[in-house]
Amino acid sequence: MTTDTAVRARLRGAALVDALVGLLGPDKVLGTREDLLTYEYDGAVDTATPDAVVLPQDTADVAKIARFCHERRVPIVPRGAGTGLSGGAIPVEGGVVVSFARMARILEIDVPNRRAVVQPGLINLHLSTAAAPYGLAFVPDPSSQKACTLGGNVAENSGGPHTLAYGVTTNHVTGLEIVLSDGTIVRLGGKAEDAEGYDLVGAFVGSEGTLGLVTEITVKLTPLPEDKRTIMAAFPEIDQASESVSAIIAAGIVPAAIELMDRLATQAVEAAVRAGYPLDAGGILLVEVDGLRDGLDDAAARIETVCREHGATTLRRAASALERDRLWAGRKGAFAAMGRLAPAYYVQDGVIPRTRLPAVLRRVREISARSGLRIANVFHAGDGNLHPLILFARDDELERVREAGLDILRACIEAGGSLTGEHGVGMEKNCYMPLQFSPSDLAAMRRVKTAFDPDGLANPGKVFPTPGRCREYQLTATG
Nearest residue to 328 via CA among 137, 146, 58, 194: 146
Q: Quote the CA–CA distance of 8 and 147 in Å, as a whole number.
A: 38
Right CATH number for 106-223 from 3.40.47.10, 3.30.450.20, 3.90.550.10, 3.30.465.10? 3.30.465.10
H-type alpha helices, 228-356: 238-250, 263-272, 296-309, 321-332, 334-337
- Please report, to the nearest 10 degrees, the dihedral formed by the alpha carbons of residues 469, 472, 477, 478 taken in order: -130
Q: How high is the pLDDT of residue 27?
A: 98
Domains of the chain by residue range:
3-99, 106-223, 227-337, 342-470
Our CA angle for 41, 67, 19, nearest 5°, is 70
Domains 106-223 and 227-337 share a fold: no
Has residue 130 got a pLDDT over 60? yes
Give the DSSP letter of residue 398: H
Q: Quote the CA–CA distance of 288 and 328 in Å, as a whole number.
A: 10
Average pLDDT over residues 17-24: 98
| Residues above pLDDT 90, as percent of the chain | 92
Range in 143-152, 266-275, 462-471 with the lowest mean pLDDT:
462-471
Sign of CA dihedral 44, 48, 49, 51: negative
Sign of CA dihedral 418, 423, 428, 431: positive
**Confidence grade of residue 11 (pLDDT, cut at 50, 70, 90):** confident
In terms of residues, how long is the chain? 479
Q: How high is the pLDDT of residue 2?
A: 37
Q: Quote the CA–CA distance of 346 and 468 in Å, as a whole number.
A: 23
**Cβ pair 283, 247 in contact under 8 A:** no
**Confidence grade of residue 194 (pLDDT, cut at 50, 70, 90):** confident
DSSP H or E stretch at residue 8: helix 3-8
Q: Quote the CA–CA distance of 427 and 475 in Å, as a whole number.
A: 16
* Topology (CATH level 3) of domain 227-337: Alpha-Beta Plaits (3.30.70)
Q: How high is the pLDDT of residue 9?
A: 58
Q: Quote the CA–CA distance of 198 and 318 in Å, as a whole number.
A: 45
285-319: pLDDT as tens digits: 999 999 999 999 999 999 999 999 999 999 999 99
DSSP β-bridge partners for residue 458: 76
**Cβ pair 53, 31 in contact under 8 A:** yes
259-281: pLDDT as tens digits: 999 999 999 999 999 999 999 99
394-415: pLDDT as tens digits: 999 999 999 999 999 999 999 9
Architecture of domain 342-470: 2-Layer Sandwich (3.30)
Is 3-99 a domain of CATH 3.30.43.10?
Answer: yes
